[in-house]
Each structure stands twice: as structure tokens, then as C-alpha cells.
Structure 1
Amino acid sequence: CSQYMDEEDEESQKFLTHGMMKKKFEEYHEEYHPGHASFGMSVFNLSNAIMGSGILGLSFAMANTGIVLFLVLLLGVSILSLYSIHLLLVTAKEGGSLIYEKLGERAFGWPGKITAFGSIILQNIGAMSSYLFIVKYELPEVIRTFLGLEENSGEWYLNGNYLVVFVSVGIILPLSLLKNLGYLGYTSGFSLSCMVFFVGVVSVPFRIVSHLSSKKVHNKKYNSSICQFSVCFVVNCCVTWCTPVTRVFVTHYSRSQKKMQNVSNLSILAMVIMYMLSALFGYLTFYDNVEAELLHTFIKVYKFDTMLLMVRLAVLTSVTLTVPIVLFPIRSSITTLLFAGREFSWFRHILIAAAILAFNNLLVIFVPTIRDIFGFIGSSAATLLIFILPAAFYLRLVKSIPLRSPQKISAAIFLVVGVIFMFGSLSLIILDWIHNPPGSGGGH
């Protein structure tokens, strides 16, 4: 086109230059951080990443905090999540990068980049491991129930270690090899429909009516551990809700800050509704008898119930289809740190995915206390990703806003709250380990 342009037409020259820069920018992100998905697919991916397996424990949380306090905490967590995403999107715009690690490098140099990288890797590996643990322990029980066996007969197809490997190789790995994360929007949509089915079954009125006649809806009285449980609830829910903040830069369907914020708003609103329904109806069904995992409570009452079997299968499907979404940011972080500036390689793309998945399988198979270990790591790494790093990056990189402005002051408060949450949650975990050592049977 340039040969037909008027060389004196400055505006046309600027337009062409802008177009070339935009093209190179899009080619770079397509090559190293692919993720051009539609609005709907972005909502599905982000919602699926938020949902996770934490929904199974919300009824237990409500049983310990009471309905009113639970709703207050849930709304508080959603607001904190949205604010964290807002800080990151504003920082990404002014910092000139859509990559978490790059923002860390521009804010604090190499230490900032390594801190962001390490936090993302540890947190997402912990999340992957927790999902694979559910596959390991739930899938054999689902198969056993399908076959009508009263107890595990010890066959290979009832061995959780074999099954988690088969699921990883047959389902998770192929989905993880996709170059464009946007394609996972279809599996994310199906995954969310499975969890909607779970919430629908939990909310069926006939499971509640028999309990309402003899018990009243009430708030539990506060006991000596309510403060501890409330703090753990906030931190753990923030981990579940805000970990996808790190994926905002991977699942971006547009360069528009406003559009990405809308994706986050819609995803979190949908999850607030689903979390609230699941927690409320699960609690109203069993009250104080609800266990830490809601499905285990149902199993005691409806051991061979067909509908319950379908629910367990739906939860397994949802968890399995979430793992590839968690794997993408891990691979993206490794690529950014070790292979920045190199051309896209399918061999490297596949090799990193296979290595990540193999490492997580080994952890799940050979380390029985991995959830306790990553509970500790998650409380530190996830709190860094959720509170501390977004606020610190914002304060450091956003120069257009005065330091004493309300925006900067609120970000500073957010940073302080993050530090308090991190040390508070770590202290509570250490105290719990002291009183209930991992492997002693007294922990949770």
C-alpha cells in the first residue's frame, strides 16, 4: 500500500505505522500467549477456573459461620476479587504488558519477575494437584457404584493411581495441547453445565422438606474457633476466586480493559449465585451434620442413589475439564521465563505440558500429604498473587495517578490487608499442624 501513498500525507503514514505495530503486537501474543476467544468463551473459561472444587465445601463453611456471616464473607470475597482484577487491568494498561511476570520485572526488576513466576507456578500446581486428588479418590468409587460392588475388590480399574494416569493421558493432556486457550471455552461450558446440574440436585426441594419440619434455620453461635474459621474461609475462597486473576493475561479475548473487566464481572456474579445456592441448600438439608465435602454427606444417606451417582460423575467431569485451564498459565510462565523471544515450537509446547502433568501425577500418587503441603504454599503464593503483587505493581507502575489520591491509598490498604492475611493464614495453618499433625488422622 505504501507505494501508492502520498509521502506528504502524515496522517496516512501514522495510520500505516500504527497498523503495522498492532499487527506485530497481535502476532507476538498469538505466538507466545494465544487466547483470542470470544466474550462468551472468555466468560466460560474464567467461570470454570473460578468454580473449581471449592463449591463442595461451602455448606460446611456455612455450618461453621452461620448464614448471615457466610453471605457477608462471600460478598466481601467477590468485592476483593473484582478489585484485585481491576488493579491488574489498570496496571497492565499503564505498564505496557499483558504478562504477569513482565509487570513484575518492570515494577521491581528480576526479583519481581521471579516472585510472580514462582507464585504462579506453586499456586497452579497446587490447584492441579487438588483436582487430580478428587479424580484419584472419587473415580474408583463411581466405578464401584456403577458395577454395584459393596466394597473395593482391588481390581486395577478400581485403583485410583491407575485411573488418575489414564484420565491425565486420555483427556487432560490432549486438551492441554491446544494452542489457543479460547477453544477450551467449549469444554468449560460443558464443565459449568455439570456444576449447574450439581447445584440443581442439591437445591431440589424434596431433600429439604423432611428436615424443615423438625429443625429451624438458625445461625450457629460463635465459638472460640469462629474467628479462625472465618479468616481461613476468606483466604481459601480468595485463593479459589482470585487465582484466575493470573489467567486474565492468558484468556484475554480483547485488549480492552473495559471488556475484560466485564468478563470478570459477569463470571464472578454467576459464581456468587451458584456458591450461595449450593451452600444454602446443602446446609438446610443437613444443618450441623454436613461434612467438609458435601458429597460425602449425601453418600451416607443415599449410598446407591442413581441421582447422586450422576452428581458425582458430573463433579468429576467438571474437575477434570478444569485441569487444562490451570495448566495453561503454568506453561505460559515457564515459556516467558525460559524461552522469551524465541519462535513458537510445537515440540516445546507439548513437552512442557507433558512434563507438568507428569510431575503432578507423581505428586498425587506418591505424596499422601500433598494437600497439606500445598495448603501452606497456597496461603503464601496465592495471597501474593491476589493481594500483594497486584497492589504493589499498581503503586509502582501507575504514574498517572498521584500517590496521595484515594486510588493509591486504597491500593496501599489492600496491600497491607494482603500481608495480614498471608501471615495470619500461615500462622493458623502452622497452629493446626501443631495440634493436628498431617497424617495423624486429626487434621483436615
Structure 2
Amino acid sequence: MELQNLSNGNYHHDAAGPLEGGIPPEEERFLPHKSDGPSPQFTDFEGKTSFGMSVFNLSNAIMGSGVLGLSYAMSNTGIVLFLILLTCIACLSCYSVHLLLRSAGVVGIRAYEQLGLRAFGHPGKIAAAIIITLHNIGAMSSYLFIVKSELPLVIQAFLGQTSSSGEWYMNGNYLIVIVSICIILPLALMKHLGYLGYTSGFSISCMVFFLSAVIYKKFNIACPLEVFGNHSVSAVLLDDTCNAKYFTMNQETAYTIPILAFAFVCHPEVLPIYTELSNPTKRRMQNIGNVSILGMFTMYFFTAIFGYLTFFGNTEAELLHTYSKVDPLDTLILCVRLAVLVAVTLTVPVVLFPIRRALLQLLFPGRPFHWVRHIAIAFCLLCIVNLLVILVPNIRDIFGITGATTAPSLIFILPGLFYIRIIPTDHEPMNSRPKIQAACFTALGFIFMTMSLTFISIDWTSGEQRNHGGH
């Protein structure tokens, strides 16, 4: 019987009584019958975040730099196959959120790491914390890498320069430190994730502007492309490159499946957002997940199709680079680049919150909120990410492995395993349809992981360097 969270973010006891088999002391704090003593840190305040702000935060967590590579993915699958894959993965992501919320509701726990503790003991808690930390550090690094590479070009274009002057404000390493200190760190120091709903809303507005520009450019750029400078499009390829394909299969097609799957990773943020939700219920949080995923599904599809129908076979792995080939000084595309930079910068604090929560659950379990820990962890995380982005010349391969393992774990494997282990067998036997579905879902995650690692191994052994966009 699922225990619903009632008013003030606290769980109240239900007629079902405690779960069988006893409760370890560390877990006991999170269950409904324990009302005395200090509240755990993720329910030590009344949830006040509205439905709309929660949608903004979760949508911002879903939306990543990978949106820039979706047109390229469509060019390697065709319109119909891309839509089928995108629909299937969006539905699977909604189902994954359902498994997480169902598991959380049964045992009265709304922290990813504590679900791991409940399902597999301390190894499960440690594994969940490590996976969340590695995945989100990888995501933060990818966002700051975009800032490092794109912001100097934007400043250069605003100054009307065609090449870098070598000034310090053209150096990406200096710029990411400045952005981290002046923008990301203050936002990361917010006490609650719900406060970032406003910046998340602005970040999404920037991406809506990006989508609007992509749609506008579709009707202003002719195919074949009139490439800026001395380059030209070969006339032999015109018939092929200016026709839309509905189904296509090539060497790159297999890569699009994990790219699309990872485009919906938001699961480390689901439970923190659930914790801070006003009037929190499983149905309300599931609706937030469904609305967020549907919104990002719509944005992903329209961005992909209008970008693809603009460039067809000439679509590059990073969509903005394709526009720059046509006119590197285009004012609208320059504004779009700036909007994308703002969007990814404002996403970093949202991604940082689950890492800090994971580290607090791992290193300081049961401790009340303390500003020194709160600030120190955020500062240290930003220092680590900045050092990675500055010192590692090619961060793609390092986080390729972690992304290929952590993303399937967060979307498919852990939610399925949590559900199987946490839902009592007297309520749902292992041969019941929900448990079988969860087992198949977990198996699908291992398939994705194996496939992604195989593609990375092929890249390494063949010596090819491809850029397909990140989460």
C-alpha cells in the first residue's frame, strides 16, 4: 500500500503499519511512523514550490546541449524513424519516473540515495551517490565546455573582429572562471532548488528563442547552401542533399539511439524537486514529469525537423556551426548563440543540487542543514569542474565512458531494480506484470549500456573523432 505524503512535506502513518522485516536505524528516520526527533534535511521545511516552478526546474534539467545535435541525428535516421525513436524514449522516461515515484511512495523516502539504501543496503546507497555525482559532473563539464568554446566567439563577433586578439577576455579559461564565480556560484548557494524556478524559466525562454530562430531560418536559407567564403556545394550532391528522407540507415544511425535516450536524463532531479513541491503527491509529481517530458519532446522534435529541413544532408553535428558556415556574422544567429550560452549556464546550478545532496547523504547522513557544508560543497564542486574543463584537452572521451554507464543506470537500471526490490512481494509477486515490466526495463538499460560502450570502443580503435552532442 503506497504511503502518500501529506501536508508540510512530512509523512504520516497509515493503517498499513511498518514494513515487514524491521527497519535499520538509518532508514527509520525516513519512514512515516517516526515523527519525533530532527527531520531529515530534505524535509526540514514546508514544501512551497509551485507546480509551474517545478515544471520549469525539471524541464531545465532535461534540456541539455544535446538539443544542438538533434537535427544531425534526424539526418541519419530520417524524419519518421526519428519521431518513432523520440516517442518511444519519451514514454520510457515517463515510465522510469513512475517507477521512482512508486518506490519512493511505498517506503516514504524521497532521496535517490536512500532508495539505494533501502533496496541494497549501504552498497546501494554508495553506488547511487557515485553514479549521480559522476553523471552530473559530466553534464556540468559539458555545459562549461560550451561556455569555454562559444563565449569567446560571441564576444569576438560583438566586437566586430574576425580573429582573436589574444586579450584576456577572449580566453575561454578565464571566462568560465568568471561565469562560475559571478553567475553559477551565487545560484548554487540557494538553500532550496525551488528558488531556481525563475532562472530555469528564463533558461527555457532562451531555448524557445533558439527554436523560433531555427524555424525562421528555415524560410530564409535556400538549399543548396550559399556557403560564406570560397567554399561551395558540389552540384553532384544537390539531388541528394536537398531532399528530405523519411527512413534512412547508415553508419551513424546506431549512434542516434543512445543520443536520444540520454536527451531525457532528469532522474537525479526528480526526487529533490518532489521533496520541495507544495502539496506533494505521487500523482502531482508524475504530472510534473509528464508535462516536462512532453514539453521537451515538442521542443526537441521541432528543433530537429526545422534544422534538418533547412540543411538536409549538409546538417552538421552542432547545428549552430552549420548556420555559421552560411554567414558567421549573422546578427540573429549571434543572439541565438548568446541565448544558448545563457541557457546552459543557468542549467549548471540545477544539475549541481543533486550532487550536493548525494554527497551530504553519503558523508553527513542525518545531519541538519548547515550553511558551511552547503557552501563548501558547492564551491569545491565548481572548482573541480573548472579544473577539468581547463586542464583536460579532450573531455569527451573521459566522460564518454561515464555517460555511457551512468545515464542508462539513472534512466533504466536503478529505477527498475529499486522497484523490484522495494515493492513488497506480498503486494506484487515477482511474476506479476508490473515486476516483469520493471525487469524488462532494467534489461533494456543494460542493452543501452553495452551498445554505448561498444560504439565508444569502435571510435577509439578506429581512431575516429565524432562529435554528436551531449546531454
TM-score, L = length of structure 2: 0.85
Structure-2 separation of matches of 1:170 and 1:40: 27
The answer for the alignment partner of 1:402 in structure 2 is: 429
Q: Take 1:168 and 1:413, find their aligned partners in 2: how far apart are those partners? A: 41
Q: Aligned partners of 1:128, 1:101: CA distance in 2, in Å?
A: 20
Measured after TM superposition, the shift of residue 222 of structure 1 is 2.1
Change (3 A) 1:208 1:59: farther
Residue 394 of structure 2 corresponds to 369
After superposition, the C-alpha distances for 1:70-124 in whole angstroms (9 at most, x for unaligned) are 0011001101100110000000011321111111111111111111111100000
**Per-residue deviation at 1:217?**
2.4
Amino acid at match of 2:395: I
Aligned equivalent of 1:207, options 219, 232, 255: 219
Matches of 2:100 and 2:462 in 1, distance apart? 38
> 1:359 deviation in Å?
0.2
- Distance apart, 1:365 and its partner CA: 0.2
* Alignment partner of 1:93 is 2:105: yes
Structure 1 match to 2:9: none
Match of 2:293 in 1: 268
Query: What's the counterpart of residue 353 of structure 2?
Result: 328
Q: How far has the Cα of 1:60 moved from its partner?
A: 0.3
Residues 135, 403 of structure 2: 8 Å contact kept: yes
The CA deviation at 1:406 is 1.1
Q: Shift of residue 342 of structure 1?
A: 1.4
The corresponding residue for 1:178 is 190
The CA deviation at 1:368 is 1.2
Residue in structure 2 matched with residue 435 of structure 1 by the alignment: 462
Q: Which runs of 5+ in 2 are unaligned?
A: 1-12, 15-30, 225-237
- Partners of 2:40 and 2:368 within 8 A in 1: no
CA deviations 1:160-199 (Å, max 9, x no partner) are 0000000000000000000011110000000000000000
Q: Map 1:30-109; keep pairs closer than 5 Å.
A: 30-31=43-44, 36-109=48-121
- 1:337-381 deviations in Å (ceiling 9; x for gaps): 111121211011000000000000000000012122111111101
1:36 touches 1:180 (CA, 8 Å); kept in 2? Answer: no
Preserved contact between residue 113 and residue 126 of structure 2 (Cα < 8 Å): yes
Amino acid at match of 1:365: I
CA contact (8 A) 1:140 1:160 kept: yes
Tell me how far 1:442 sits from its aligned partner. 6.5
What residue in structure 2 maps to residue 248 of structure 1?
Answer: 270
Which runs of structure 1 show a deviation greater than 6 angstroms over 4 or more consecutive aligned residues? 18-27
Question: In the alignment, is the contact (CA less than 8 A) between 1:67 and 1:218 conserved in 2?
Answer: yes
Say whether the 8 Å CA contact 1:36–1:251 is kept in structure 2. Answer: no
1:355 maps to 2:375: no
Deviations 1:26-85 (CA, angstroms, capped at 9, x unpaired):
774344x99641100000000011111111000000011111110011001101100110
1:443 CA displacement: 6.9
Contact 1:199/1:277 (<8 A) preserved:
yes
Which structure 1 residue ranges, 5 or more long, are not aligned?
Answer: 1-12
Specify whether residues 141 and 257 from structure 1 end up closer, same or farther in structure 2 by C-alpha distance, changes over 3 A only. same
8 Å CA contact 1:81–1:241 kept in 2: the answer is: yes
Q: Is the 8 A contact 1:34 1:181 kept in 2?
A: no
Which 10-residue stretch deviates more, 336-345 or 209-218?
Answer: 209-218
Which of residues 110, 132, 147 is equivalent to 2:122? 110
Deviation at 1:428, TM superposition (A): 1.3
- Counterpart in 2 of 1:29? 42
Against the structure 1 CA distance between its residues 367 and 67, is the aligned structure 2 distance closer, same or farther, given a 3 Å change threshold?
same
- Aligned partner of 2:244: which letter? V
Amino acid at match of 2:299: M
2:438 is equivalent to residue 426 of structure 1:
no
Aligned amino acid, residue 361 of structure 2 = T
Structure 1 176/380 Cα, relative in aligned 2: closer, same or farther at 3 Å?
Answer: same
One-letter identity of the residue aligned with 1:241: F
TM-score (norm 1): 0.90
**Partner amino acid for 2:270?**
V
Match of 1:7 in 2: none
SS at match of 2:165: coil
Aligned mates of 1:57, 1:443 — CA distance in 2: 9
SS at match of 1:178: coil
- 1:165 lines up with 2:177 in the alignment: yes
Answer whether contact 1:34 1:250 (CA < 8 A) is retained.
no
Percentage of pairs with the same residue: 53
Q: For the Cα contact (< 8 Å) 1:102–1:113, is it kept in 2?
A: yes
- What does the per-residue CA deviation read over 1:360-407, in whole Å, with 9 as the maximum and x for residues that have no partner? 000000001212211111110111111111101100110122221111
Give the superposition deviation at 1:436: 1.9
Equivalent-residue separation in structure 1 for 2:378 and 2:41 (angstroms): 20
Q: Which one-letter code corresponds to 2:69 in the other structure?
A: G
Q: How has the CA–CA distance of structure 1 residues 436 and 95 changed in structure 2, closer, same or farther, with 3 Å as cutoff?
A: farther
Instruction: Report what 1:237 is aligned to.
Output: 260
Shift of 1:208: 5.4
> 1:240, CA displacement in angstroms?
2.8
Counterpart CA distance in 2 for 1:183 and 1:319 is 17
1:66 and 1:115 map into 2 onto residues whose CA distance is: 38
